[in-house]
Structure 1
Amino acid sequence: MFFVYVIRSEIDERFYVGLTEDVERRLKEHNSKKTKSTKGYIPWKLCFFETFKTRIEARKREIYLKSGVGKEYIKQNWSGSSVG
Structure 2
Amino acid sequence: MYYVYVLLFEDGKLYVGYTSKLNERLNKHRRNEVQSTKNRGKFIVIYYEACLNKKDAIKREKYLKMGFGRRFLNNRLENYFSGSRWRAGKSS
Identify whether the pair has TM-score above 0.5, normalized to the shorter chain: yes
- SS of the residue corresponding to residue 37 of structure 1 reads helix
Amino acid of the structure 1 residue aligned with 2:74: K
Give the direction of change, closer, same or farther, for the CA distance of 1:40–1:79 in structure 2 (3 Å limit): farther
Give the direction of change, closer, same or farther, for the CA distance of 1:26–1:80 in structure 2 (3 Å limit): farther
Residue number in structure 2 paired with 1:32: 31
Offset of 1:71 from its aligned partner?
2.1
* Percent pairwise identity: 31
- SS of the residue corresponding to residue 7 of structure 2 reads strand
Larger Rg: 2
Q: Which runs of 5+ in 1 are unaligned?
A: none
Under a length normalisation based on structure 1, what TM-score does the superposition of the two structures give? 0.81
Give the number of equivalent residue pairs: 80
RMSD: 1.7
Give the direction of change, closer, same or farther, for the CA distance of 1:80–1:20 in structure 2 (3 Å limit): farther
Give the direction of change, closer, same or farther, for the CA distance of 1:6–1:53 in structure 2 (3 Å limit): same
* Offset from partner CA, 1:23-75 (integer Å, 9 cap, x none): 11111111111111111312121111111111111111111001122123223
Under a length normalisation based on structure 2, what TM-score does the superposition of the two structures give? 0.75
In 1, Cα distance between the equivalents of 2:60 and 2:21?
A: 17
Show the 5 A alignment for 1:33-48.
33-48=32-47
